[in-house]
Chain A
């Protein structure tokens, strides 16, 4: 029985346990994943994880209570668990007050998206990866298999999102903290595509072999590669676009709404559900539009609105998750030719990755973080030497506003390799950014 059919039949059965006007909603996340972790080209840990977590919300009028449970994937056991859970939730409903912000989908808009792939056998993948690591210090993780997200309710709505993917997230190390990071993700493993990624990493690794320069704190003209810019945009997304964060004045983009602060007119950021790989529905069953424009022509445009915030603040939901953060971030390309990045940088820093960002002044969207992996000092449009790690501390209004020289004319697609709880379905499509006078402090 497929995971989808199993979920469907379980919810039909759960619906039969309801009483009176009770409504039941259920969201499911799950995976059948293989994980192989490498260090110095050898296997550190290897294994499989099979899990299905279901969250049920039992609703009676304006009251509701929720419970999450790990499914045993045995029909008898799971029916017993869900049945007991419904009884527990029903008992609890009598003890809680009505929820003025309760909101759940009633349109019964069902959807299905199943993406299959040709994933390599684990032993074959290990062989390919260890071959790439021959005579190199390779460290990273290979993850592959099916991931599932589902929604169902007792009104008859069914939503299912399933994809078979692999994601190899790795680094080649030269020595100490001198390394190049890369990512090979997709649905069908292609030896040639992987070899091209390995070759690109080797080229960067060769450049890292030169004596590193130790730059002093100060301001530098800087090119932020797409992976580095992703980290900055993720900080803006941490409460930046949620309706609740705006209404409670906690958004890091507060100055855009209170003082009319703007970014450069070339900056356009959207929640691009149609172009991403995340589900087009959320935990209460609301569908997401193909696109929500968050920043347009450098000006704040729209919020991400969860069903709960929609009720609280009296606006329509746009299918945002409860935490109101974008999951399929897309930033428009600019006009800076990607092939001319080094020559346009001329003299300054080429930053491949940023790391461990946080706010140093949230209300001012002032962010700090470190350079990491392939970061180079460039003179006259040529890479001169790797740069030792530096701490930056600067505001989005400088980096993507006054001091933005340009965004590249090509965007890079990056699938999120995160695996907290389960494998992520988030993604980013971003250009690189050339910035004047980026502030480095340590």
Chain B
């Protein structure tokens, strides 16, 4: 672990330990240091190379039936002491006024580190820029040759290295080193009032690791396919309107999972914390253990152990050890996405998902890795079972009500399916439904061959607001009798 100053991390940790008060029920210091690099080439021009360094701590104190936090970037002994006093003041002010009066937290010991096969530090900045210049050039048009219909194109690569330590007043110490890589490609084509965009998974082909993350999603081969498809879309007709079957590619499934399984199962929403902002949930506590969420083909896990997935970790940001848990098994709802605080309030089992976006925000219930487990069909078999329907790839529009029930999603790319065969490309495809019934119309789950591990880098929630990355993995899936539509004529 590094710091920006001459102080070694060991000295810094000693300073944190000295600052932790012992005359309280529970105290913790959560330190995080994030180093980022952001590279983007647009239309052949390298945009300003930017790096970031974000370092700070959050002090949390529970005492006398109250609790509070103080976040500061001042890591001097005086700065830490001041933060401890502010957190202590909040604990005094909230005593007897809070939703819970005893800390449901342990004093864990452990560590986690992202697996990295080929570190980015083994490449030069020039190499990384060169990679993007080459990818951007391939987006100029078919075979990399200029096409006047291509009106914008970008290739990007971001990296974020996070080193974090949680120290608790009872001797707990958790150290985690996360290495995330975020590649991106996009190409936009236009004719008249028709503009179409195709992207490399719309930012979902991301994960933990180094250079191998690019290989995982075929970054070097993607540009040519995206150009071909965006020009196909430009010439395509609008997606038809009607009730039909739907086969969703993995890079649309992740959005469907995120919005209509992930958010409704967040226990803090069920407890009402998010009602003023992100919303509530159609799921109620009495549903766990018996409610049929989907067809018997639906199996959903919270799995922080998937190697290379965006939200893999050993412990959540309150220090709870993270393990794989089934949330939905054979279509039946088993447990919510709730961390230690929410579990204590609700009296329900949960998972280790109390997460903060950085040192300056308190942990709340979040999705982490939330995955649909593979089934037994091949993708060809899923399509062969459709008489009239559409195949949809890559989300570009998402909207759902505050109970996470009535949704409408749009995709970048669609193809008609007729009598079990993929047919013409269609533009502006969308579909709508109701979460509580949609998953029961699941009629096919593809096998491990199409199972793709992805993530969503910017999930917003919480007051104060927080954005975190969540991981999702899924095979292609088929749904029966869905309301499908196209763009405005």
Shortest distance in angstroms between B402's beta carbon and chain A's nearest beta carbon? 5
**A420 in contact with B466 given A66-B49, A357-B399 (CB within 8 Å):** yes
Question: With an 8 A cutoff between CB atoms, is A345 at the interface?
Answer: no
Cβ 8 A contact of A42, one of B56, B99, B463: B99
A254 and B194 CA atoms in complex are apart in Å by 9
Question: With an 8 A cutoff between CB atoms, is A316 at the interface?
Answer: no
Question: With an 8 A cutoff between CB atoms, is B309 at the interface?
Answer: no
Are the C-beta atoms of A70 and B56 separated by less than 8 Å?
yes
Are the C-beta atoms of A40 and B410 separated by less than 8 Å?
no
Are the C-beta atoms of B48 and A69 separated by less than 8 Å?
no
Question: With an 8 A cutoff between CB atoms, is A143 at the interface?
Answer: yes
Question: With an 8 A cutoff between CB atoms, is A80 at the interface?
Answer: yes
- What is the chain A residue whose CB lies nearest that of B152? A248
Question: With an 8 A cutoff between CB atoms, is B193 at the interface?
Answer: yes
Question: With an 8 A cutoff between CB atoms, is B171 at the interface?
Answer: no
Interface string of B22-46 (1 = CB under 8 A from A): 0000000000000000000000011
Cβ 8 A contact of A67, one of B53, B364, B465, B483: B53
Are the C-beta atoms of A126 and B53 separated by less than 8 Å?
no
Are the C-beta atoms of A419 and B275 separated by less than 8 Å?
no
A419 and B460 CA atoms in complex are apart in Å by 11
**For the side of the interface on B, what is the size category?**
35 or more
Segment among A47-55, A149-157, A206-214, A219-227 that sits at the interface with chain B: A47-55
Shortest distance in angstroms between A175's beta carbon and chain B's nearest beta carbon? 11
Shortest distance in angstroms between A199's beta carbon and chain B's nearest beta carbon? 19
Q: Which residues of B contact A171 (CB under 8 A)?
A: 275-276
- What is the chain B residue whose CB lies nearest that of A390? B406
Are the C-beta atoms of A81 and B4 separated by less than 8 Å?
yes
Are the C-beta atoms of A363 and B193 separated by less than 8 Å?
yes
Shortest distance in angstroms between B264's beta carbon and chain A's nearest beta carbon? 13
A80 and B6 CA atoms in complex are apart in Å by 9
Chain B stretch 328-350: residues in CB contact (< 8 A) with chain A: none
Shortest distance in angstroms between B366's beta carbon and chain A's nearest beta carbon? 14
A299 and B96 CA atoms in complex are apart in Å by 57
Q: Which residues of B contact A179 (CB under 8 A)?
A: 275
Q: Which residues of A contact B193 (CB under 8 A)?
A: 254-255, 258-259, 363-364
Q: Which residues of B contact A368 (CB under 8 A)?
A: 397, 399, 408
A48 and B84 CA atoms in complex are apart in Å by 11
Segment among B72-80, B288-296, B473-481 that sits at the interface with chain A: B72-80
Are the C-beta atoms of B197 and A360 separated by less than 8 Å?
no
- What is the chain A residue whose CB lies nearest that of B405? A389
**A46 in contact with B276 given A39-B99, A250-B152, A357-B399 (CB within 8 Å):** no
Shortest distance in angstroms between B245's beta carbon and chain A's nearest beta carbon? 19
Chain A stretch 133-187: residues in CB contact (< 8 A) with chain B: 137, 139-141, 143, 169-171, 173, 176-177, 179, 181
Question: With an 8 A cutoff between CB atoms, is A332 at the interface?
Answer: no
Question: With an 8 A cutoff between CB atoms, is B400 at the interface?
Answer: yes
Segment among A89-97, A112-120, A379-387, A426-434 that sits at the interface with chain B: A89-97
Question: With an 8 A cutoff between CB atoms, is B94 at the interface?
Answer: yes
Are the C-beta atoms of B402 and A74 separated by less than 8 Å?
no
Q: Which residues of A contact B465 (CB under 8 A)?
A: 418-420
Q: Which residues of A contact B460 (CB under 8 A)?
A: 420
Q: Which residues of A contact B434 (CB under 8 A)?
A: 442
A372 and B126 CA atoms in complex are apart in Å by 50
**A92 in contact with B45 given A42-B97, A140-B276 (CB within 8 Å):** no
Q: Which residues of A contact B152 (CB under 8 A)?
A: 248-250
Chain A stretch 85-137: residues in CB contact (< 8 A) with chain B: 85, 88, 92, 95-97, 99-102, 122-123, 126, 130, 137
Are the C-beta atoms of A419 and B97 separated by less than 8 Å?
no
Interface string of A34-46 (1 = CB under 8 A from B): 0101011011111
Shortest distance in angstroms between B362's beta carbon and chain A's nearest beta carbon? 5
**A99 in contact with B48 given A51-B71, A126-B97, A361-B428 (CB within 8 Å):** yes
For the residues of A in contact with B, the DSSP-based class is strand
Question: With an 8 A cutoff between CB atoms, is B111 at the interface?
Answer: no
Are the C-beta atoms of B50 and A361 separated by less than 8 Å?
no
**A47 in contact with B79 given A40-B272, A359-B410, A368-B399 (CB within 8 Å):** no
**A126 in contact with B93 given A71-B73, A364-B488 (CB within 8 Å):** yes
Q: Which residues of A contact B123 (CB under 8 A)?
A: none
Question: With an 8 A cutoff between CB atoms, is B382 at the interface?
Answer: no
Are the C-beta atoms of B51 and A139 separated by less than 8 Å?
no
Are the C-beta atoms of B276 and A141 separated by less than 8 Å?
yes
Question: With an 8 A cutoff between CB atoms, is A358 at the interface?
Answer: yes
Q: Which residues of A contact B48 (CB under 8 A)?
A: 57, 64-66, 99, 102
Q: Which residues of A contact B90 (CB under 8 A)?
A: 46-48, 122
Question: With an 8 A cutoff between CB atoms, is B319 at the interface?
Answer: no
Are the C-beta atoms of A68 and B50 separated by less than 8 Å?
yes
Are the C-beta atoms of B275 and A70 separated by less than 8 Å?
no
A247 and B76 CA atoms in complex are apart in Å by 49
Q: Which residues of B contact A391 (CB under 8 A)?
A: 399, 401, 406, 408, 432
Interface string of B456-468 (1 = CB under 8 A from A): 0000100111110
Residue of B53, B72, B488 with highest tally of chain A CB at under 10 A? B488
Are the C-beta atoms of A51 and B360 separated by less than 8 Å?
yes
A88 and B71 CA atoms in complex are apart in Å by 28
Question: With an 8 A cutoff between CB atoms, is A315 at the interface?
Answer: no
Chain B stretch 117-162: residues in CB contact (< 8 A) with chain A: 124-126, 129, 151-152
Cβ 8 A contact of B397, one of A67, A101, A249, A360: A360
Interface string of B390-403 (1 = CB under 8 A from A): 00000001111111
Question: With an 8 A cutoff between CB atoms, is A366 at the interface?
Answer: yes
A179 and B415 CA atoms in complex are apart in Å by 41
Are the C-beta atoms of B271 and A39 separated by less than 8 Å?
yes
**A69 in contact with B52 given A74-B76, A356-B399, A391-B406 (CB within 8 Å):** yes
**A363 in contact with B487 given A39-B272, A39-B273 (CB within 8 Å):** yes
Shortest distance in angstroms between A360's beta carbon and chain B's nearest beta carbon? 6
A441 and B401 CA atoms in complex are apart in Å by 13
Cβ 8 A contact of A442, one of B49, B432, B487: B432
Cβ 8 A contact of B54, one of A53, A173, A250, A395: A53
Shortest distance in angstroms between B479's beta carbon and chain A's nearest beta carbon? 16
Shortest distance in angstroms between A396's beta carbon and chain B's nearest beta carbon? 11
A372 and B73 CA atoms in complex are apart in Å by 38
Question: With an 8 A cutoff between CB atoms, is B190 at the interface?
Answer: yes
A122 and B70 CA atoms in complex are apart in Å by 14
Are the C-beta atoms of A80 and B4 separated by less than 8 Å?
yes
Question: With an 8 A cutoff between CB atoms, is A195 at the interface?
Answer: no
A249 and B193 CA atoms in complex are apart in Å by 8
Question: With an 8 A cutoff between CB atoms, is A73 at the interface?
Answer: yes
Question: With an 8 A cutoff between CB atoms, is B98 at the interface?
Answer: yes
Interface string of B247-286 (1 = CB under 8 A from A): 0000000000000000000000001110111011000000
Are the C-beta atoms of B360 and A40 separated by less than 8 Å?
no
Given A39-B99, A46-B67, A139-B275, 17 more A-B residue pairs with CB atoms under 8 Å apart are: A42-B98, A43-B99, A45-B364, A48-B69, A66-B48, A74-B74, A77-B4, A77-B5, A96-B49, A130-B97, A356-B402, A359-B410, A362-B397, A364-B487, A372-B401, A441-B432, A442-B483
The 5 lowest CB-CB distance pairs between A and B, nearest first, are: A47-B69, A361-B487, A419-B464, A141-B463, A249-B190
Instruction: Give the interface of B toward A (CB within 8 A).
Output: 4-6, 45-56, 58, 67-76, 79, 86-87, 90, 93-94, 97-99, 124-126, 129, 151-152, 188, 190, 192-195, 197, 271-273, 275-277, 279-280, 360-362, 364, 397-403, 406, 408, 410, 428, 430, 432, 434, 460, 463-467, 483, 485, 487-488
Instruction: Give the interface of A toward B (CB within 8 A).
Output: 33, 35, 37, 39-40, 42-53, 55, 57, 64-74, 77, 80-81, 84-85, 88, 92, 95-97, 99-102, 122-123, 126, 130, 137, 139-141, 143, 169-171, 173, 176-177, 179, 181, 247-250, 254-255, 258-259, 355-364, 366, 368-370, 372, 389, 391, 393, 395, 418-420, 441-442
